[in-house]
Chains A and B, each alone.
Chain A
Amino acid sequence: MIADGMTTSLKASIEPSTTHSQGKSIAGHKLLDTAVSVSSLPSNCEKLI
């Protein structure tokens, strides 16, 4: 569950930035590069890619 107030910071953390790749296409499927640092996610969510 994403706690109140967490959403804003989570959204802010995935805005395009210098650390964000624009993603790349593999076999026609757009994959996302790591755009969100683990520390900025809710404690019960984790990006593995």
Chain B
Amino acid sequence: MRNLSKKHCDVSLPPADLFRTLEGARGAVWLDSSLTRGSWGQTSLIAVDPIRELTLDEDPVGFYDELNRIAGDPELTAIGFIGYEAAMPFLGLESTKTSPGPPSAHFFVYDRVLRYNHETGTYDEPELAVELTKTVDRVDEPIEQPPNILPAISRAEYLRRIERIKWHIHEGNIYQANFTCRFDVDTEADPFEVYQRLRRLNPCPYGAYMNFGDYRVLSSSPERMFLLEKDRITSTPIKGTIERGRDEAEELSNMEKLMNSEKDRAELLMIVDLVRNDLGKIARTGSITVDSLFRAYVFSSLTHLMADISARVRDDVSFTDVLRALLPGGSITGAPKRRAVEIIDELETCARSVYTGCIGYLGSGRADFNIAIRTLVHSGRTYYIHAGGGIVADSVPEKEFDEMQLKALNLFRAVGVDL
């Protein structure tokens, strides 16, 4: 870490204002909890000036060895993502898609990380906050022009492919598949301004803004892939989504619809079973428990059904073993996972890349990763927006298309698309 001069800085600044002065630097990352509930999003992390970086594509063996080493290192923290396609080999599969964008997995390694506790409203190292704010200059914001949107697939084709998934379900190949599509939005909108809008529109416990230099990742995910604390692991899958509603009466009505929806409850239950199965690969016998099931959580514009599943990890399990057991996440693949992933690869037109992979940090015996939904990648003038949903036997294609659009709504609004 380079030598930094101490100048006056108001350490009472919330993370958003502090990070505003840092985000222009390559290697600046902010794991952002814009919504806090208990252990969800209790702490936000800010880091700049990485001491090195790791990408999967250059050295796959070394990449995972290094993650295993850092996972238990009390001095280092790795922050980054593992993309969806990077996890496919864990199932014995290779993606047929080529992705010209980000590496399939990319981490920065830091020797100092600033932590902001949302309960107390304080930084763990105020003097580090002072130093960090002096490391980079703010980049001027470009003038925003009306964005152009290019969908990767037409509505008619989207519906046709959902029918194809339903055919696979009726043939007995799968029970559920998560089908997604991509929209490319061409705009000069400043990525940090976009992120600021996104976190206002869609507050969440597992947000992130990461500057990788030639591309940036903006995430506002409500979903935790896993939290690993020593030997305890927790996963919180989401399945089942409904619009929050335009007023209180509609909110209540929608909440009741979701909580009583046989389809949505079945979707979640399938994924809970899948996660229990995945945890079984790394858990001590008899330690897997479903701590909550069919709980509805109301976010800013959507209400979701969620579950909490936890387990005790065996002593012989490494961090990479955890990744191999859980990724890609069941809620964004379907069940059975391997066949669902094959069908997704056959039917989706683009690589998912960061989207539906996982974003988070590891170090000091702790790791916390989201599932990278409600996530954009910005590169050049383009924002890559993905959205999708779980398809089951009684899915109505038109409704699934509407749900996909609903999930993407705040992402479009954040990049300045007037909907």
Contact = CB atoms under 8 A, between A and B. Distances in A.
Interface string A26-49: 111111100110000010111111
Contacts of A28: 413, 418
A27 B259 contact: no
B201 A2 contact: no
B203 A49 contact: yes
B260 A44 contact: no
A29 B37 contact: no
Contacts of A20: 248
Given A2-B259, A2-B260, A47 B298 contact: yes
B294 A27 contact: no
A1 B294 CA distance: 8
Contacts of B246: 30
Contact of A7 (B197, B244, B256, B299): B256
B364 interface: no
Contact of A46 (B197, B201, B298): B298
B299 A48 contact: yes
A28 B244 CA distance: 16
B252 interface: yes
A14 B298 contact: no
Interface residues of B, number: 30
Given A1-B259, A29-B413, A46 B297 contact: yes
Q: Is the interface of B mostly helix, strand, loop or mixed?
A: mixed
B131 interface: no
Nearest to B292: A44
B252 A45 contact: no
B314 interface: no
A42 B305 CA distance: 14
B201 A45 contact: no
Contacts of B300: 31, 49
Given A29-B201, A31-B300, A32-B244, A14 B256 contact: no
A7 B300 CA distance: 22
Nearest to A36: B248
A40 to B, nearest CB: 11
Interface of B: 35, 37, 197, 200-201, 203, 244, 246-249, 251-252, 255-256, 259-260, 292, 294-301, 409-410, 413, 418
Given A1-B294, A45-B296, 10 more contacts: A7-B252, A26-B200, A32-B248, A45-B259, A45-B297, A46-B37, A47-B297, A48-B37, A48-B203, A49-B300
5 contacts: A10-B252, A16-B248, A48-B203, A48-B297, A48-B298
